[in-house]
Structure 1
Amino acid sequence: MRIVVVDDNAMNITVVQEMLKRAGYRDIRAASSGMELFSILGLSENGEEMREGAPDPGVDLILLDMMMPRIDGIAACLAIQASERLRDIPVIMVTAMGDSKKLAEALDAGAIDYVTKPINRIELLARIRVALRLKQEKDWHKERDRRIREELQLAKEVQSAALPARLEESGIRIDALYQPSEELSGDLYAWNRIDENRYGIAVIDAMGHGISSSLVCMFIASVLRDAMVTRVEPVSVMEELNRRALQLQFADQLIQYYFTALYLVVDLASGTVEYVNAGHPPGILVRCDAALPQERLSGGGMAVGMFEDVSFTKHVLKLQPGDQLLLFTDGLLELVTGPEESRLDTLLDHLAGTVRHTGSLQELVGGEEGLERPDDCCLVRIQIS
């Protein structure tokens, strides 16, 4: 435990150091001014960081005299609190003053406690023990948070790696825009070439967002990958997803994770798209001929993973070269302003009007890349060429 004693009176420093040594504290450093304290902590004369990325000074506690020339204890404490690197170091003010307003000002500046002169040894050591316990707890939480952040970053990279790469083959092009609202997302998209002419494409939105929904998404992704190849037919694929989703067991029986899904099979040979919509926002088919109306991939079915006996309905649309299909999750609806009941129509009109003259998915979504989103956003574009 490293303690820094700060006082402009050398005798006071000697007395406190002797008390601490007799109590078993060995790593004690003295500073005769606020400036000397700043030097120990790696701060400049005006209390700012001397250089970016400065190392931790290894200080566990500061005993800080309140009344010092030039830089008093309150000013020093404010500078410590302004530094993200130092603000968790507990500061105990040492003062001969009985002014309650000044003491309140010191506590407001960031000090966690105070002792008055003449110093009572038993009281001082008790307050030091409390402050050091607080420092240990803060350090433990900081280390745990660091490990969690590292694990979340790794999980984010794994989740992103599980998403398919942009596909461009004779007759079809598929790409996607994926913007989680947090490190991990509850949205998922997937596509797979079934045979020479058919492609399975899915967009899924799990309940909620964050760690729990991302884990559900990873489970769904593994099931979906197999179902696309072995089941193929949209209704059969959705039934398999529903069956496997209901196998998820949770300790809390009140928790049930479900997800909405839009799964479709594009057949280039027959020029058709077969799809099932399970409670998902409707996709949109934008015709190459602007005179033709766009068509919605709606269905109004039940979400997946809620009930065992759920029936899914397949729909079929004809495709022409130059047509484009847009599939998305409801995070896009959060970006649309206006009355809630008209947001879907506004979004679909925007997508249909914009997709004909832009090659950028970011333009379709709007806003800058990396912009903070209220919900996970996912947009998949399928171009028939």
Structure 2
Amino acid sequence: MRIMIVDDNPVNLIIIEKILKSEGYRDCLTASSAYELYKHLGVDSGEPPESDVDLILMDMMMPEIDGLEACRRIKREERLRDIPIIIVTALGDSNKLAEALDAGAMDYVMKPINKVELMARIRSALRLKKEMDWHIERDRKIRNELDLAKQVQRSVLGEPVDNEIIRVSANYYPSFELAGDMYSWYRIDDSRYGVILLDMMGHGISSSLVCMFISSVLKDTITRLIDPELVINELNRYMTQLYSKEHFIHYYFTAIYLVIDTNRKVIEYVNAGHPPGLLLTQGGEALQLDQGSCAVGFFEQIEISKARIEYEDESRIFLFTDGLLEAVEEAGGDLLEELTRARGNDLDRILERILPEEVRKDHHDDMCMVMITAKS
């Protein structure tokens, strides 16, 4: 443990240093002013610190820069704010002592210094510092693991498709590091694609883990069963396996899943409690995709109603989560009307016109949109 003693009185420096060394704290540094302390810690200079400090004992009354101002300045530095500071003072003014604590000091010691009291307060401060360091290190490890989980989660999202029969792309604005929205699409055969957009309950680690669980079975479920009724029913079976009887926790998600047959020009879909998708034809017809079932995972058995739509010319389908719908409404717009007027195939530009920049950067829920163009 390295302790820095700051006092403009050389006698006080000697006394405190002797007390510390007699108690086994031999790694002590001294400074006669706040300027020397700043220099050692690299404050204001942009230079790295000369060495790490685990605790600062600082006199309150010093010329030019007193202990209170020095304490405030150190606490403004993110890399230094966790260093515990004990103020040493001869003043018994309770207002001044309260000011020292408000400035960021962890504790204070009165002069003349009582060795027993000083050591007790130092041990208490160092115990707290050790706990803080443990939490900081744990948080760092958690952040690293969350970053890895975020990369894994993003890796399972569908990549854009643009071929002779279909164009599929998505835009995603997660509100958390680990989010609850997921989209995927799979080529079933030469003329058919299965596309799904789902919105998992909640945010963070739990929703991400459930998303990853569902993503692990999606491809097999869609390419094997294909039919929207069968796929949603199978996903419901997987989700009900996660039900915790002990904690009465139901994990669920809303979803819209559709199969596009570009040869027969038919779209079959199930909307499982999700915001209605929008189908736009070249002839100007707009159809909402709102037929299906309740959310997936609520009940062991659910009633599912599949819808079937035939189209003739090139058609576009917009799928989106409730976070995007609510964000547009809060900005004073109507998402369905905006999408009906949308032109072009650049989803980024479409969303830039629909969503103000401040909403895209600062939003409380995940926002996701998938655009599908079934080519003629």
TM-score above 0.5, yes or no: yes
- Contact 1:177/1:362 (CA < 8 Å) preserved in 2? no
TM-score, scaled relative to structure 1: 0.93
Please name the residue that 1:360 is paired with.
347
Quick one: which of 128, 138, 154 aligns to 1:134? 128
Unaligned runs of 5+ in 2: none
Unaligned runs of 5+ in 1: 45-49
Q: Does 1:144 align with 2:138?
A: yes
- Contact 2:347/2:371 (CA < 8 Å) preserved in 1? no
Report the CA distance shift for 1:56/1:179 in structure 2 as closer, same or farther (over 3 A): farther
Letter in 1 for 2:324: L
- Shift, 1:300, TM fit: 5.4
In structure 2, how many angstroms separate the alpha carbons of the residues matched to 1:55 and 1:232? 62
Quick one: which of 315, 321, 330 aligns to 1:323? 315
Q: Does 1:180 align with 2:177?
A: no
Letter in 2 for 1:36: E
Q: Does 1:5 align with 2:8?
A: no
- Contact 1:267/1:273 (CA < 8 Å) preserved in 2? yes
Report the CA distance shift for 1:200/1:300 in structure 2 as closer, same or farther (over 3 A): closer
- Shift, 1:163, TM fit: 1.0
- Shift, 1:57, TM fit: 4.1
- Shift, 1:336, TM fit: 2.4
Q: After TM superposition, list the pairs within 5 Å mapping 1:293-312 onto structure 2.
A: 293-299=285-291, 301-312=293-304
Report the CA distance shift for 1:126/1:43 in structure 2 as closer, same or farther (over 3 A): same
SS of equivalent residue, structure 1 residue 51: coil
Letter in 2 for 1:380: V
In structure 1, how many angstroms separate the alpha carbons of the residues matched to 2:74 and 2:246? 44
Quick one: which of 334, 352, 364 aligns to 1:374? 364
In structure 1, how many angstroms separate the alpha carbons of the residues matched to 2:49 and 2:301? 61
- Contact 1:41/1:57 (CA < 8 Å) preserved in 2? yes
Deviations 1:120-139 (A, max 9, x none): 00000000000001111111
Please name the residue that 2:244 is paired with.
250
Number of aligned residue pairs: 372
Deviations 1:307-365 (A, max 9, x none): 122121110112233310000111112212359xx98xx211112212x2462335325
Report the CA distance shift for 1:213/1:41 in structure 2 as closer, same or farther (over 3 A): same
Query: Alignment RMSD, CA only?
Result: 1.8
Q: Does 1:347 align with 2:335?
A: yes
SS of equivalent residue, structure 1 residue 337: helix
In structure 2, how many angstroms separate the alpha carbons of the residues matched to 1:201 and 1:284? 14
Q: Does 1:113 align with 2:107?
A: yes
Q: After TM superposition, list the pairs within 5 Å mapping 1:1-385 onto structure 2.
A: 1-44=1-44, 50-51=45-46, 54=48, 57-250=51-244, 252-289=246-283, 292-299=284-291, 301-337=293-329, 346-354=334-342, 356-357=343-344, 359-364=346-351, 365-368=354-357, 371-385=361-375
SS of equivalent residue, structure 2 residue 293: coil
